[in-house]
């Protein structure tokens, strides 16, 4: 089974998969509402607004594995993201990105190394994976800001 075909649910509980975004560049990000990096939501939403009409989408994957910084229910996460940061990009159900219960999407994503040659477990909230329409995956550190010139150049190259 391809990463695109792995079943996932939206934050509202609707079944979907990454195949629903076929032909688009996807920035998959494990997110959290109570993290020092949470303000990255604003930059992620800016990317969505800037490139969404050109075949790009951010997809947020809430995760509570890092110091329990995403403790909320689906409704609480949705309300926080929309009222605090105006998030319009798709948000998926809360998942595990590490460990025995790691979601199959992250089983595949974590095989990819970033620019610092880190592969394997997700290090922290807001680690980013750019999935190009051809399936090529590029990994970015949690500290890579959404407005990082290298990330923006990679998004533009994938469109």
Active site residues: 35
Task: Round to whole Å and give the CA distance between 88 and 59.
Answer: 10
Q: Are 140 and 127 spatial neighbours (Cβ–Cβ below 8 Å)?
A: yes
**For the chain, where are the E strands, in sequence order?**
8-9, 15-16, 25-31, 56-62, 128-131, 137-140
Where b means 16+ CB within 10 Å and e means fewer, 56-95 reads bbbbbbbbbbbeebbebebeebbebbeeebebebbbbbbb
Give 87's Cβ-side CA count (13 Å radius).
27
């Amino acid at each position: 089974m391809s990463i695109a075909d792995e079943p996932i649910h939206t934050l509202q509980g609707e079944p979907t998969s990454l195949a629903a975004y076929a032909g688009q560049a996807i920035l998959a990000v494990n997110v959290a509402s109570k993290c020092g990096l949470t303000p990255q939501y604003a930059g992620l939403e800016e990317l969505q607004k800037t490139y969404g009409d050109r075949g790009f989408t951010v997809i947020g994957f809430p995760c509570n594995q890092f110091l329990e910084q995403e403790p909320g229910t689906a409704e609480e996460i949705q309300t926080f993201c929309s009222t605090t940061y105006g998030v319009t990009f798709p948000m998926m159900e809360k998942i595990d990105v590490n460990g025995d219960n790691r979601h199959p999407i992250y089983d595949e994503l974590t095989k990819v190394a970033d620019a610092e040659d880190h592969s394997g477990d997700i290090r922290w909230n807001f680690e980013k994976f750019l999935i190009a329409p051809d399936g090529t995956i590029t990994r970015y550190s949690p500290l890579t800001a959404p407005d990082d010139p290298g990330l923006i150049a990679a998004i533009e190259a994938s469109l």
